[in-house]
Amino acid sequence: MSPQDLEIDVVMLTSNSNKPWFKRVLRAIKEEVPVHHFIVVDGYSTDDTVEVVKEFFGDKLVLLRTGRPLGCARYLGMKLVDTEWFAFIDSDVEILPGWFKSALKYMKDERIWGIQGSFWKSQRRILLTQSPRKDFSWNIILKYGITSFYGADTSHVLMRRDVINLVDPKFLCYLECGEDAYIAWKIVEAGYLYIKTSELQAVHYSSPQTSLRKTLHRSFSYNGLFYAVPYSAYAISSAIRFLTSLYKRRIHESLIYLINTLGGVFSYSKTKYLLLKS
């Protein structure tokens, strides 16, 4: 298996994504990934986002416009995939040289259904995502925090097309955040592996304002993180990170974790009700 004889679909969610780094993101994908179809699920952009994508991928572009929540946008993108493997790559993530080539050895393993990359300068490690419903451990939560425990992020990740058969579309399509955790857990619950490796490196272009806005949204929205992690564990983990950030005088980070700790109860209550309905 090599980049020359394997093509994959790439799914990108966009919404006025034509930022200063957007062309760098697209150029990196074109250079690193053997793209079969470039699937754009767009939230009715008005800043020429789709036109810029077409400059890079031409007839390979498959466009779907929708105003549905983030989880549903991912589900609709997965439905359009027609290759054995596909990639989710966010519009503000620039994958680095060797990204796809590094994943090939993992793609050969039939047990692996998800391969998540990490960000530049991150610690070199490989994590197996665990399902808290079956392997929940307070020791892991308290020592490493929620993020290390669930280890799921669809910013740049490769998945098998058949992942779509594992998820519940009725639940996924309500999710406005945390859909990455939900998808990863469904993979693991089905008996397959979801790994995270720093061999797939990328640069994430974001701002503190964006992070704070996402945090506020996460605290009041349907959150797939709560599919398997109880709110008590989430709150304690966030509180520990809040106190740590406060001690280190990282004010912006402290604010984010404080909002997670206090505001997450609203998101948890909504998501728990949704789970009971489905």
Region of poorest pLDDT, from 25-39, 102-116, 245-259: 245-259
Q: What is the pLDDT of residue 53?
A: 98
If we measure between CA atoms, which residue out of 173, 131, 181, 130 comes closest to residue 153? 181
Those residues whose C-beta lies under 8 Å from the C-beta of residue 171, and which sit 6 or more positions away, are: 182, 224, 227, 274, 275, 278
Q: What is the pLDDT of residue 106?
A: 95
Region of poorest pLDDT, from 22-26, 114-118, 211-215: 211-215
Those residues whose C-beta lies under 8 Å from the C-beta of residue 56, and which sit 6 or more positions away, are: 23, 26, 27, 29, 30, 38
Q: What is the pLDDT of residue 4?
A: 47
Instruction: Return the C-alpha torsion angle 25, 26, 32, 35, nearest 10.
Output: 140
Burial of 251 by CB count in 10 Å (0-12 exposed, 13-18 middle, 19+ buried)? exposed
CB neighbours (10 Å) of residue 259? 18
The domain locations on the chain are 8-206, 209-277
The pLDDT-based confidence of 47 (bands split at 50, 70, 90) is: very high
Residues 231, 268 contacting (CB under 8 angstroms): yes
Whole-angstrom distance, CA of residue 27 vs CA of residue 136 = 41
Those residues whose C-beta lies under 8 Å from the C-beta of residue 1, and which sit 6 or more positions away, are: 104, 107, 108
Mean pLDDT value across residues 62-81: 97
The pLDDT-based confidence of 123 (bands split at 50, 70, 90) is: very low
Q: Angle, to 10 degrees, between the axis of helix 49-57 and the axis of helix 22-32?
A: 30
Alpha-carbon separation of residue 113 from 63, 68, 80, 98, 208 (angstroms): 25, 26, 18, 20, 32
Amino acid at 88: F
Alpha-carbon separation of residue 100 from 6, 87, 127, 157, 162 (angstroms): 11, 10, 19, 10, 20
Mean pLDDT value across residues 184-211: 85
The pLDDT-based confidence of 1 (bands split at 50, 70, 90) is: very low
Q: What is the pLDDT of residue 56?
A: 98
3-state helix, strand, coil in the chain (%, to 5): 50, 20, 30
If we measure between CA atoms, which residue out of 42, 89, 92 comes closest to residue 70? 42
Q: What is the pLDDT of residue 55?
A: 98
Q: Angle, to 10 degrees, between the axis of helix 179-189 and the axis of helix 138-150?
A: 110
pLDDT of 143 strictly over 70:
no
Mean pLDDT value across residues 7-32: 97
Mean pLDDT value across residues 184-199: 90
Alpha helices in 94-250 (DSSP H): 99-107, 132-135, 138-150, 169-172, 179-189, 208-220, 231-247
Q: What is the pLDDT of residue 135?
A: 53
What are the b/e assignments for 211-244, b being 16+ CB within 10 Å?
Answer: eeeebeebbebbbbbbbbbebebbbbbbebbbee
Whole-angstrom distance, CA of residue 27 vs CA of residue 91 = 12
pTM (whole model) above 0.85: yes
- 51-60, 110-119, 224-233: which has the highest mean pLDDT? 51-60
For 8-206, CATH gives 3.90.550.10
Reduced to 3 states, what is the DSSP secondary structure of residue 109?
coil
pLDDT of 269 strictly over 70:
yes
Q: What is the pLDDT of residue 137?
A: 59
